[in-house]
Amino acid sequence: MAGRHFGWKGMSMAKQGSSFKWVVLFLMVFGTAMLNFSNLVFSARSVDVMVQFNMDQAQLTAISGIGVLPGALFSIFLGNFFDKKGPKSIRYIGAVLLFLAAACQIWRVFASSYIELFIITFLAGTFFLPTQVLPAKMLGAWFDRSEMGTAMGIFGAAAGIGITAAFAVAGLFSTTTAALAFCAGGYVLVAVLWLFTAIMPEQTQAPREGDGQGAVPVVGEGAPQVSVGAVLKSKNMWLVMICGGLAAGAPLLYNSYVMNVFIGKGMDPALTSLIGVVFNICLVIGAIVTGFIVSKAGRYNRVYTVFPIVSGVALLAQYLLPVGPQTFVLAAIAALFGACTVSVNMARISLVPLTGDFGSENIGIAGGMNNTAMGLCMFVLPTIAAVALGDNYFGVFITLLVFFAVMALCGGILLPELGEKGELARRARGE
């Protein structure tokens, strides 16, 4: 089994001895942070944005999520495409797409209507997909399997970094146009950094069999065959996708409502913005810390069973209790414990082949499927909730609790243990 899923022939990048893996990780983190900043800039400046573009609450939630909807529509196609291409194609085609995304962001600065803003944000999200589809594939190539919890923990903090920056910084710009110009500059920088990685010389080792770590796939005759069907038939991959989708949708639903909810409870608007900052900073910290925890413990499921429930209960308590210091404390607790739903889940993507459902050559497709679930849930779940619940804030927080309970069930109980100390990993090592 080890030979089939992790030992297939390939050009294995120099992992442990290469510092370039941290450059790749930084690029993935920065790209995802910019994507989330670009989307949440609207919620962070909700008052003037709604006036400038004549939006209601449902439209505000929709525009905050439309940038990730392309992930639901095109990620499987793009993941399959990159699985069939070599590393060089991944680098250069990815660079072209990211420069197109940057061009869309520059165009967005001059948008004059909600419809125009909506369309441009969708296009920018489409071209920016390499930063969302390829992390598991690229980080899995550069980081050892035992390091994936740490690497994905850091990567899992990226969305929180972007959202935190949006709530902390977006309001400081004199106009929304200036904030959108800042987003455009960030996208240009991501594209330039990606191009930098494209022109770096390849660092490879000789092909080796049964290294147990995964590798960049060989393209051509004799290479393992990429199979979308095998990934689609994987029950375990679908469980990962359910967790990934809900883990992405829940924070966006919370962030799109947080200011209006607590302003409605009588809190000063400036303080409501601070709630968003606290929540998202703690998401960042929680993602990194839980990544280290699962890497050190060698087990994922124990954390994933308990932490999401704690997060959902803390969010509901935050709404039910009167506003005050406890509002910020509960936001911090909810984020610190809830962060595992993203970081730990993403670390699993490159490890699902341990189950025997499909081979490592399909990691790009698996990452694309997970990003499909995330993109769909980040747009559809908050938008449906906003339309269905409107100003029923109690219903919003009950919905959040249900989301976290489902994640605990799927990711903590139904999924097999994929950590280094789990039975599947030990079997792959021949123990």
410-428 pLDDT tens trace: 999 999 998 888 888 888 7
The whole-number pLDDT of residue 181 equals 94
Nearest CA to 47 out of 253, 272, 248, 249 is that of 272
CATH number at residue 45: 1.20.1250.20
Look at residue 173 and tell me if it is in a domain: yes
199-246 pLDDT tens trace: 665 443 333 333 334 434 443 444 455 667 888 889 999 999 999 999
Q: Which domain covers residue 134, as residue numbers? A: 17-206+228-428
As for how many domains the chain has, the answer is: 1
Residues 6 or more apart whose CB falls under 8 angstroms from that of 32 comprise: 131, 132, 135, 155, 158, 159, 162
Distance CA 65, CA 72 (A): 11
Look at residue 301 and tell me if it is in a domain: yes
Look at residue 348 and tell me if it is in a domain: yes
Q: Read off the pLDDT band of 300 (50, 70, 90).
A: confident
Q: Taking each helix axis from N to C terminus, what angle separates 340-349 and 135-142, rounded to the nearest 10 degrees?
A: 70
Round the average pLDDT of the chain to a whole number and report it: 80
413 burial (CB, 10 Å; 0-12 / 13-18 / 19+) is exposed
Distance CA 325, CA 308 (A): 23
Using DSSP's 3-state secondary structure scheme, residue 36 falls into helix
Buried b (16+ CB within 10 A) or exposed e, 36-49: bbbbbbbbbbbeeb
Look at residue 304 and tell me if it is in a domain: yes
Look at residue 274 and tell me if it is in a domain: yes
Give pTM, 2 decimals: 0.70
Look at residue 216 and tell me if it is in a domain: no
238 burial (CB, 10 Å; 0-12 / 13-18 / 19+) is middle
Look at residue 104 and tell me if it is in a domain: yes
Of these ranges, 159-173, 349-363, 386-400, the one predicted with the greatest mean pLDDT is 386-400
Look at residue 213 and tell me if it is in a domain: no
Contact (CB, 8 A) for 194 and 98: yes
116-161 pLDDT tens trace: 999 999 999 899 988 877 777 777 777 776 777 777 778 877 877 8
Mean pLDDT score, 35-39 = 88
